[in-house]
Structure 1
Amino acid sequence: MARCDGWRQRVAGLVYRPSLVLLPLAALAGSLALLPPTASASPGWELVLDRPSPSFGGIDFVSETEGWLVAGAGLLHTTDGGATWEEAAPLTGIDVDFADADHGWLVGYNGTIYATQDGGESWANQASGVPNMHLRDIAAISAGEAWAVGIEAQGDVPRFPAQTALLHTTDGGVSWLRVETPPSSWFEELQFVGEHGWALGWAHIPCDEPDCPAGPQTIHRALLRTLDGGGSWELMTEGLPQRIGRLSFLDDTHGWAIGRISCDQNDCLGAILETRDGGLNWTESFFPLGSFVDVTFVTDLEGWALMRDTEAPPYRFSLAHTIDAGLTWTFELVGGLSAYQPSLTVGEGITYLTGNDLALSSADGGVTWQTMEHPAIAFDSTSFLDGRLGHAVGRQTLYRTSDGGRTWRALSRSLAFHAIVRFIDANVGVIAERERGASGALTVGRTTDGGSTWEEVHRTDDQSLGFPRKIYLEDEQRGWILMDAGLLITSDGGATWQERRFADPATIPGPDGIDAVTLDEVWRIVYIPEPDRPDPLRLQHSTDGGATWHGVPTQAELQLEFVDFVDTSYGWYEGTICQAECRSLLFRTTDGGRTWEEIDLAAERVLDLTFTDRMNGWLNVARCSDSGCGYQVLHTDDGGRSWTTELEGEELSGDFDFVDSANGWLLLYDPASRGVGTEIPSRTVLYHRTGEGAPVLPDVGYGPSRGPTRPLALPALLATMTGLALLAAGALALGRGRRAYSQSPS
């Protein structure tokens, strides 16, 4: 769930409450991660990263150089025209608008409204009176007056059709009045020019004709218009183009909008709409080159529009420019972008494109584009090699860190939609990627310079292997990639790969539903519907590399979720039973699956599970009460029989990445970025756990490969580096002898 303002986290029994009293921007400039003091040498979790996600929303400039940008669960600020941005406040929102340099509002999910009267140095939470509404647009008229509009939400997700909330304040937000709107209508977009204002949305209109396409109630595009500063509003639907969007009015009569016309296979048709009577009538200019996603005019003659001419990623955009009121347009190709529907903003000589994962600016009319520097970041997964050296995959970007996750640098690598990565040492690494969709190819890449450059070493267009789930690297030569329906195997350090397909390919519920102890020993959770079982998930085991599979008896009502083995004897699987209430059960084997011990976890849901050896394991579980839900990180040192709480907070998402029992990370990712039942963005948070007496690792630099690498078993590597007797404690004997990267999006 999204973090609430005033959130708290309990770390090793201590309550950490970040203050919402905002520091001046100069104080924030030194560190955007809001890090607590360094953790002690005793076992515990240390917060090493806390950033907003690049789910960019509204943008507003109060001058040529100063502006504000919503970044998921953070509000960013610039004083250099957008070249660089800093986080001004850890506030979650959708849109921001300033009436002047001092007075502004931020609106967002669940009716949240924040206001500033001192240029963003402090923000006050204001009561909207509509906690069930997502406020999507704000129009700041003056220091005291503003309008906001939003739609009804069911939990975290907007409802369609929905009710709407049109809010108005004249006292700086001390009180907000809900203005009555037509029944069965909802509005998301708002603009004011002086006393004239418009709200764009949808409305149910009665239809008496016998051939009504949607029955007696037909959904129409709807425009609310006021001519007296909001004193009265009129609803306009007749003659309004059904695909109209993105209003851009210059004065009370002259305005433009886009016509959202979808593509038919590879051919797209877009339209620019123009009105000269305040929105009563619209004329359309069609362009058979693509569909427009945004338009803005800065004078009666000069305007800009953004056109998308592909319907699959990477999306190809062109920036259109006119200086004769749209009679003629020139187009500049922007290139392939990740955002499907970015926003276009034109400032004083600078053009901005913002959207999901997108923050670009151009000072030459779109001929060249620069990525705006900002602190927002999003990870899908991490893969650490030791206590300092790690990589992360997020939003089709590969990152690396050499300080345990405190700072990250993006590598020049554009990833496929689904990617996992694993490194053998500081230089040699393997990445497996597959694009989504029926035509997505599977590729394997290899690097020898720490990820700066990659060579494609394997490729197949065959979809039957499914998605790459985990990468196992036993040493510098041997390893394998575990797929949904087979294995890719290397014996030469990743230079070449051979395919081995499983018999009886089946659907795997996700990366946690399959585990390969060795090339021959594989466990998996698969969908096998049976009439007498309410849940179709089954546990299967293979001892011959997937040539044959044997079913493992499980409780009929158990919904299986995780399977994890550390060797051929010791392993665990987990599932949830929901009757009057839900509870999670853990099953443990010490004899390769011949017998199982049941352990009640007293939790409603397990979010992640991992074991580093036969005794040490961690759970991330959901805990819910009348006040809401949150997570708890639990640790066991007796194989799962008993658990102690090490960390807890309010998020409901997170993945583990452990090097060994002394070093591990918990990634709390943005659930909205994965489509996990919510559109409310969160922050990207990373915790690092260090065990008692864990040696301090030297800073590992990236350089060219200098010969053979050490085996991956990290305890042996640390013992060699530090002279500590870790092997005597049995860490290696009970451990895997290899690591699995397993946190990839399904």
Structure 2
Amino acid sequence: MAALALVTVAATSGFTHGHAGPSWKLTDTGATARFRGLAPVSDKVAWVAGSAGTILRTTDGARTWQSVGPPGTTDLQFRDIEGFDARHAVALTIGEGDQSRIYATSDGGRTWTESFRNDDPAAFYDCVTFLDRRHGLALSDPVGGKFRILATTDGGRSWHVQSPAGMPEALAGEFAFAASGTCLVSAAGRAWFATGGGERARVFTTANGGRTWQVTDSPLPSGPSAGIYSLAFRDARHGLAVGGDYALPDSAPNGAATTRDGGRTWRTSSVVPGEYRSGVTWLGGKTALTVGPTGSDISRDAGRTWTEFDGGSFDAVECVGGACWASGEQGRVAKLTWTH
């Protein structure tokens, strides 16, 4: 359940920039929606999705944005979007019962197909991810004591509820956070999802397309509004987890962790952001970024230590091809620049 510009970097090992410092350059979206869904495709093409049924798309590096959301969705909250290119995208709305829906477009948002509408009042979908262009998964909070998984094999045009037989039992009060579209992520043919709400914040992983899952505890604190809010994996082994408590955004002890074995074990970062963070992403090599409503941080050592570089509010962050984008409240969408 959820409470919730650009420089192309040389593809050198570690993506080092010498003494260059990162900063966000805001773009003019012309919108006031809160964009928790973010899907950059390249340095030119990106999608954002948010409140009041709002979806925007740019194809010119954020110089201009087009409003391309599905008609009749102003009462829905988009929390995740996956973009494949300038024409193809899949977007998720959250909420109880039929508020949880999935829409797909193949023409740049001119038309959308509603490919899934939840009919179970106990389900609440949080995040969606694609392992490749055809195979995708969507995550619901526990139904009948287990997290529920939807799967698609046709690029999001149709979805099917997976058998719960391969899913471990959920803890009392455990759920996922639809804060940035990254409570469920994938890399190298694997997928992971993160939780909070219960007595422990945990990470689930699958290596067979969501049919069976394994779960492990993380060191991040958990509670009614606390846990892991975002995951990022650069390959099958190296991952990052960030979170905290959105009700206490200025303090997040032990709010970041790393794994080097595909999520089987997690270690608390030696220097954490210290504040609630809702999104995390790899830039390249050992460089990573994390964002939240109180600021943004960079790590140059694979998540072991974090340094704040911006105090603005963002919910989601993602890098692709050396280009990093962030999105959040009041229509905020920014691209990363480097200053010497």
What TM-score comes out, normalization by structure 1 length? 0.34
Give yes or no for contact 2:103–2:115 (8 Å, CA) kept in 1.
Answer: yes
Match of 2:162 in 1: 236
Give the C-alpha shift of residue 364 in structure 1. 2.4
Match of 2:93 in 1: 150
Give yes or no for contact 1:136–1:149 (8 Å, CA) kept in 2.
Answer: yes
**Greater displacement, 316-325 / 329-338:** 329-338
Percent of matched pairs sharing the same residue = 23
Match of 1:95 in 2: 37
Work out which of the residue numbers 123, 126, 144 in structure 2 matches 1:188: 126
- Once the two structures are superposed, residues 419-449 of structure 1 have per-residue CA deviations (whole angstroms, 9 ceiling, x without a partner) of xxxxxxxxxxxxxxxxxxxxxxxxxxxxxxx
- Once the two structures are superposed, residues 194-240 of structure 1 have per-residue CA deviations (whole angstroms, 9 ceiling, x without a partner) of 2111111247x6xxxxxxxxxxxx58532111122224311126143
SS at match of 2:52: helix
Match of 2:149 in 1: 223
Q: Which has the larger radius of gyration?
A: 1
Give the C-alpha shift of residue 150 in structure 1. 0.7
* Aligned residue type for 1:193: L
Structure 2 CA distance for partners of 1:167 and 1:683, relative to 1, 3 Å: closer
- Structure 2 residue 246 is the aligned partner of structure 1 residue 306: no
Match of 2:338 in 1: none
Give the C-alpha shift of residue 183 in structure 1. 1.1
User: In structure 1, how many angstroms separate the alpha carbons of the residues matched to 2:54 and 2:164?
Assistant: 33
- Once the two structures are superposed, residues 687-738 of structure 1 have per-residue CA deviations (whole angstroms, 9 ceiling, x without a partner) of xxxxxxxxxxxxxxxxxxxxxxxxxxxxxxxxxxxxxxxxxxxxxxxxxxxx
Unaligned runs of 5+ in 1: 1-56, 66-79, 153-159, 206-217, 264-268, 378-679, 685-746
* Aligned residue type for 1:163: Q
User: In structure 1, how many angstroms separate the alpha carbons of the residues matched to 2:198 and 2:207?
Assistant: 26
- Once the two structures are superposed, residues 513-548 of structure 1 have per-residue CA deviations (whole angstroms, 9 ceiling, x without a partner) of xxxxxxxxxxxxxxxxxxxxxxxxxxxxxxxxxxxx
User: In structure 1, how many angstroms separate the alpha carbons of the residues matched to 2:217 and 2:290?
Assistant: 23
Which residues of 2 match residues 167-186 of structure 1 at below 5 A? 167-184=103-120, 185-186=123-124
User: In structure 2, how many angstroms separate the alpha carbons of the residues matched to 1:81 and 1:126?
Assistant: 36
User: In structure 2, how many angstroms separate the alpha carbons of the residues matched to 1:272 and 1:290?
Assistant: 13
User: In structure 1, how many angstroms separate the alpha carbons of the residues matched to 2:246 and 2:140?
Assistant: 26
Match of 1:525 in 2: none
* Aligned residue type for 1:345: T
Work out which of the residue numbers 261, 272, 277 in structure 2 matches 1:324: 261
- Structure 2 residue 297 is the aligned partner of structure 1 residue 360: yes
Match of 1:296 in 2: 232
Work out which of the residue numbers 198, 201, 205 in structure 1 matches 2:137: 198
- Once the two structures are superposed, residues 445-503 of structure 1 have per-residue CA deviations (whole angstroms, 9 ceiling, x without a partner) of xxxxxxxxxxxxxxxxxxxxxxxxxxxxxxxxxxxxxxxxxxxxxxxxxxxxxxxxxxx
Work out which of the residue numbers 203, 209, 214 in structure 2 matches 1:278: 209
* Aligned residue type for 1:319: A
Work out which of the residue numbers 184, 187, 197 in structure 2 matches 1:250: 187
Give yes or no for contact 1:96–1:106 (8 Å, CA) kept in 2.
Answer: yes
Give the C-alpha shift of residue 133 in structure 1. 0.6
Work out which of the residue numbers 286, 308, 330 in structure 2 matches 1:371: 308
Give the C-alpha shift of residue 88 in structure 1. 0.7
- Once the two structures are superposed, residues 392-420 of structure 1 have per-residue CA deviations (whole angstroms, 9 ceiling, x without a partner) of xxxxxxxxxxxxxxxxxxxxxxxxxxxxx
User: In structure 1, how many angstroms separate the alpha carbons of the residues matched to 2:278 and 2:219?
Assistant: 20
Structure 2 CA distance for partners of 1:351 and 1:232, relative to 1, 3 Å: same
Structure 2 CA distance for partners of 1:681 and 1:354, relative to 1, 3 Å: closer
Q: How many residues align?
A: 283
Structure 2 CA distance for partners of 1:135 and 1:337, relative to 1, 3 Å: same
Give yes or no for contact 2:76–2:94 (8 Å, CA) kept in 1.
Answer: yes
User: In structure 2, how many angstroms separate the alpha carbons of the residues matched to 1:324 and 1:309?
Assistant: 26
Structure 2 CA distance for partners of 1:63 and 1:374, relative to 1, 3 Å: farther
Which residues of 2 match residues 17-28 of structure 1 at below 5 A? none
User: In structure 2, how many angstroms separate the alpha carbons of the residues matched to 1:135 and 1:311?
Assistant: 21
Give the C-alpha shift of residue 316 in structure 1. 0.4
Give the C-alpha shift of residue 290 in structure 1. 3.6
User: In structure 2, how many angstroms separate the alpha carbons of the residues matched to 1:81 and 1:178?
Assistant: 45
* Aligned residue type for 2:90: W
Give yes or no for contact 2:219–2:266 (8 Å, CA) kept in 1.
Answer: no
Give yes or no for contact 2:192–2:205 (8 Å, CA) kept in 1.
Answer: yes
* Aligned residue type for 1:102: K
User: In structure 2, how many angstroms separate the alpha carbons of the residues matched to 1:367 and 1:330?
Assistant: 9
Unaligned runs of 5+ in 2: 11-18, 177-182, 315-327, 333-340
Give the C-alpha shift of residue 123 in structure 1. 0.7
- Structure 2 residue 100 is the aligned partner of structure 1 residue 164: yes
* Aligned residue type for 1:260: G
Give yes or no for contact 1:314–1:336 (8 Å, CA) kept in 2.
Answer: no
Aligned Cα root-mean-square deviation (Å): 3.5
* Aligned residue type for 2:94: I
User: In structure 1, how many angstroms separate the alpha carbons of the residues matched to 2:81 and 2:21?
Assistant: 21
Give the C-alpha shift of residue 258 in structure 1. 2.2
